Amino acid sequence: MKQPFFYDVTLRDGNQALKKPWNTSEKEIIFNKLLELGVQGIEVGFSGASDMDFEACRYLADIAPKNVVISGLARAVKGDIDKVAHAIKHAPKPRIHTFIAMNPLGLEYVLKKPLTEVKKIAIDAVSYAKSVLPTYGEVQFSVEHFGDCRENLDEVIEAVQDIVKAGANVINLPNTVERFRPMEFIEMVKKVRLALPEDIIIAVHCHNDLGMASATTVESYFAGATQLECSLNGLGERAGNTNMYEVAVALYNSGVDVPLNMQNIYETSLLVSEMANVPIWEKAPIIGYDALAHRSGIHQDGVVKTKHLEKGAYRAFNPELIGRGDAEKLGFTSQSGKTAIYELINSTQYQISMQEAVYLAPFAKQKAENVGELSLKQLLKLYFDEICDVKGPFKLSDFTKIGADKFNLSFNRNNEEFDVIVKGSGPLDACINALKKSGFPLELEHYEQHAIEDLANEKEKSKAMSVLHFNDNGNIIIARAINTSTAQANVQAVFNGLNLMFKS
Ligand code: KIV
Ligand code: ZN
């Protein structure tokens, strides 16, 4: 299988669809981005459209590198062809791209000429373009509205065979207006491929009127069209042209050697959107802000379980591939679950166990039902309120050190007051002794402490987080608390554990 040849039309089809077409210096910025992306061909403009576009085409051809085809669009008329030839004469790999429609509707109502006459115009245009180019120059011919040539396909193919004899190196088959099934178009591409010599390049140029341009382009490649005409961000007339990123990623996923620096895709898309003044829809495949977000609990679970794999659950491609390494995100909504809580909180300096995430999930879901997706700040607030301060029958009133190893604990349980003085090797030991003495024995299995940075507080830069594991008749209960005092964090964590165990 031949490597795909990415032929970019952003500066021509994309530009002609802008509310404010680009000038030379704006085009140069996009041109350089295309070179960084590594495209093989660039259609720099339609030099017959305006003096400004002629100038841009001339300038870009002058600065073009040796290995990139520089092409200019011309109607099948001498004047346009001369202009392109003049504009791109310094390009190391110049190409004149000429076109005319051959579809029944276009012949009858727009050109008002029979196909025989149009074929002659095309042949003359191609041989003239050939004659004004240096020997290393190429001619591309486009059957405009090829997708609408279903009824006269055999005659069109005959015309194209003669156009090739006249010197066309590339035959482009545009789906100028996308109306029908991609498969029908692909069958037509196959027919043309079979009818032309091997060394003639077949191109496809698909518009996206029904949203299937990328699919059609990808499948056309497998049908033998190796030149893929695409644009950045899918910019182009009406609903745009084939989006280059979608084609590149789909081919890459299918095992095709894609000759592009795909890691430049995302940064390029942002720049193009800004320069075109066309925002990227947040759900746009690949480049949309939200295109790599997961909100349903089932999806989040699959995503997390496969995050170490190249091919992940609910992940069409590795975001690193297009330079969006950090774009995959989990959002907590009422549709989400424990996995998102676990991942989101553990992505901060606070920690949470899966058991605690399960506990927190109903609180978070209830909040999200009212407010929509929770911000990390809102989720952390729930964590502080529900995990680090568990409400229940036990309420700590006071815990004070009253001697070298003596402590006073007072608390309330269901309106019953307790006030106990005990000895202990430290605050935690003393608190557990006091509870035992009050009739609430606890079995501490594990204890750990972490320092938490208090970013909001200038003076108290760090806080203590205590994490305790209690054995409650064989069940491990995890409790935690945060406080500026280590002793208070320990005692609060004990009470959080008690409330978890004694919650009705
Ligand atoms: O969409 C189209 O048919 C075109 C041609 C000029 C190639 O843009
Ligand atoms: Zn087009």
Q: Is residue 379 part of a domain?
A: no
User: If you take atom 5 of ligand 1, which residue's CA is the nearest one?
Assistant: 144
Separation CA 101–CA 111 (nearest Å): 8
Separation CA 500–CA 478 (nearest Å): 9
Residue 457 has a pLDDT of: 65
Residue 162 has a pLDDT of: 98
Nearest-5° Cα angle at 11, 6 to 17? 115
* Cα 443 to ligand 1 centroid, rounded to whole Å: 77
Q: Which pair of tokens denotes residue 284?
A: 């746009």
Tens of pLDDT along 174-189? 999 999 999 999 999 9
- 438 plus 464 within the same structural domain: yes
Q: Is residue 230 part of a domain?
A: yes
Separation CA 32–CA 261 (nearest Å): 13
The answer on pLDDT for 463 being more than 70 is yes
User: If you take atom 1 of ligand 1, which residue's CA is the nearest one?
Assistant: 176
Ligand 1 neighbour 13 (Cβ under 6 A): yes
Q: Which ligand is nearest to the CA of 143?
A: 1
Ligand 1 neighbour 240 (Cβ under 6 A): no
Separation CA 36–CA 305 (nearest Å): 35
Q: Is residue 42 part of a domain?
A: yes
Q: Is residue 283 part of a domain?
A: no
Residue 459 has a pLDDT of: 65
The answer on pLDDT for 210 being more than 90 is yes
C-alpha separations of 127 from 79, 131, 142, 169, 242 in Å: 14, 6, 14, 11, 29
Residue 1 has a pLDDT of: 87
Tens of pLDDT along 438-452? 999 999 999 999 999
Residue 475 in contact with residue 374, Cβ under 8 Å?
Answer: no
Q: Which of 451, 450, 446, 504 is nearest to 479 (CA)?
A: 446
Q: Is residue 368 part of a domain?
A: yes
Q: What is the SS3 assignment for 187?
A: helix
Residue 370, exposed/middle/buried by CB under 10 A (0-12, 13-18, 19+)?
exposed
- 264 plus 296 within the same structural domain: no
C-alpha separations of 136 from 69, 272, 312, 428, 435 in Å: 11, 32, 46, 85, 92
- 111 plus 251 within the same structural domain: yes
* Cα 30 to ligand 1 centroid, rounded to whole Å: 20
* Cα 144 to ligand 1 centroid, rounded to whole Å: 6
Q: Is residue 367 part of a domain?
A: yes
Residue 314, exposed/middle/buried by CB under 10 A (0-12, 13-18, 19+)?
middle
Q: Which of 47, 139, 202, 205 to mutate to test the pocket of ligand 1 (most atoms within 8 A of CB)?
A: 205
Separation CA 37–CA 413 (nearest Å): 68
- 52 plus 96 within the same structural domain: yes
Which atom of ligand 1 approaches the CA of 73 most closely?
6
- 76 plus 207 within the same structural domain: yes
- 266 plus 169 within the same structural domain: yes
Residue 486 has a pLDDT of: 95
* Cα 4 to ligand 2 centroid, rounded to whole Å: 19
C-alpha separations of 32 from 12, 67, 268 in Å: 15, 14, 10
Which atom of ligand 1 approaches the CA of 144 most closely?
3
- 171 plus 320 within the same structural domain: no
* Cα 175 to ligand 2 centroid, rounded to whole Å: 8
The answer on pLDDT for 149 being more than 70 is yes
The region of weakest confidence among 116-120, 196-200, 308-312 is 308-312
Residue 442 in contact with residue 428, Cβ under 8 Å?
Answer: no
Q: What is the DSSP letter of 264?
A: G
Domain end point (choices 248, 276, 304): 276
Q: Is the dihedral of CA 431, 433, 437, 442 positive or negative?
A: positive
Separation CA 315–CA 312 (nearest Å): 5
Separation CA 503–CA 392 (nearest Å): 6
Q: Which pair of tokens denotes residue 74?
A: 């011309």
Ligand 1 neighbour 176 (Cβ under 6 A): yes
Ligand 1 neighbour 12 (Cβ under 6 A): no
Count of residues making up the chain: 504
Tens of pLDDT along 253-307? 999 999 999 999 999 999 999 999 999 999 999 999 999 999 999 999 999 999 9
The answer on pLDDT for 461 being more than 90 is no
Mean pLDDT of the chain: 97
The domain in which residue 398 lies consists of 394-501
Residue 408 in contact with residue 402, Cβ under 8 Å?
Answer: yes
Domain containing residue 53: CATH number: 3.20.20.70
Q: What's the pTM?
A: 0.92
Residue 453, exposed/middle/buried by CB under 10 A (0-12, 13-18, 19+)?
exposed
| Spacing of C-alpha 217 from chain mean position | 20
The answer on pLDDT for 470 being more than 80 is yes
The answer on pLDDT for 151 being more than 90 is yes
Number of domains in the chain: 3
Tens of pLDDT along 57-97? 999 999 999 999 999 999 999 999 999 999 999 999 999 99
* Cα 173 to ligand 2 centroid, rounded to whole Å: 10
Residue 313 in contact with residue 302, Cβ under 8 Å?
Answer: yes
Q: Which pair of tokens denotes residue 298?
A: 């089932």
**Which residues does residue 391 pair with via DSSP β-bridges, in sequence order?**
none
Q: Which of 101, 115, 108 is nearest to 177 (CA)?
A: 101
* Cα 456 to ligand 1 centroid, rounded to whole Å: 58
Share of the chain above pLDDT 90, in %: 96
Residue 458 has a pLDDT of: 63
Q: Is residue 389 part of a domain?
A: no
Domain end point (choices 276, 298, 315): 276
Q: Is the dihedral of CA 264, 33, 284, 12 positive or negative?
A: negative
User: If you take atom 8 of ligand 1, which residue's CA is the nearest one?
Assistant: 13
* Cα 288 to ligand 1 centroid, rounded to whole Å: 27
Q: How many CB atoms lie within 10 A of CB 136?
A: 8
- 248 plus 337 within the same structural domain: no
Ligand 1 neighbour 231 (Cβ under 6 A): no
Residue 311 has a pLDDT of: 87
Domain end point (choices 244, 276, 308): 276
Residue 269 in contact with residue 232, Cβ under 8 Å?
Answer: yes
- 139 plus 187 within the same structural domain: yes
- 437 plus 368 within the same structural domain: no
> pLDDT confidence of 503, banded at 50, 70, 90?
confident
* Cα 143 to ligand 1 centroid, rounded to whole Å: 8
Residue 12 has a pLDDT of: 98
Domain containing residue 435: CATH number: 3.30.160.270
Q: Is residue 474 part of a domain?
A: yes
* Cα 284 to ligand 2 centroid, rounded to whole Å: 21
User: If you take atom 2 of ligand 1, which residue's CA is the nearest one?
Assistant: 176
Q: How many CB atoms lie within 10 A of CB 398?
A: 10
The answer on pLDDT for 223 being more than 90 is yes
Residue 133 in contact with residue 91, Cβ under 8 Å?
Answer: no
Q: Which of 43, 47, 144 to mutate to test the pocket of ligand 1 (most atoms within 8 A of CB)?
A: 144
- 119 plus 187 within the same structural domain: yes
- 108 plus 32 within the same structural domain: yes
User: What integer is the mean pLDDT of 235-251?
Assistant: 98
Q: Which ligand is nearest to the CA of 230?
A: 2
Quickly count helices (H) and strands (E) in the chain.
Answer: 17, 16
User: What integer is the mean pLDDT of 330-357?
Assistant: 97
* Cα 167 to ligand 2 centroid, rounded to whole Å: 22
Which atom of ligand 1 approaches the CA of 146 most closely?
3
Residue 454 has a pLDDT of: 76
User: What integer is the mean pLDDT of 100-117?
Assistant: 98
Residues near 201 by beta carbon (within 8 Å), at least 6 away in sequence? 5, 169, 170, 171, 226, 227
Separation CA 57–CA 455 (nearest Å): 54
Residue 416 has a pLDDT of: 96
Separation CA 65–CA 222 (nearest Å): 29
DSSP result, 418-459: EEEEEE-SSHHHHHHHHHHHTT----EEEEEEEEEE-TT-SS
Ligand 1 neighbour 205 (Cβ under 6 A): yes
Ligand 1 neighbour 242 (Cβ under 6 A): no
Residue 192 in contact with residue 227, Cβ under 8 Å?
Answer: no
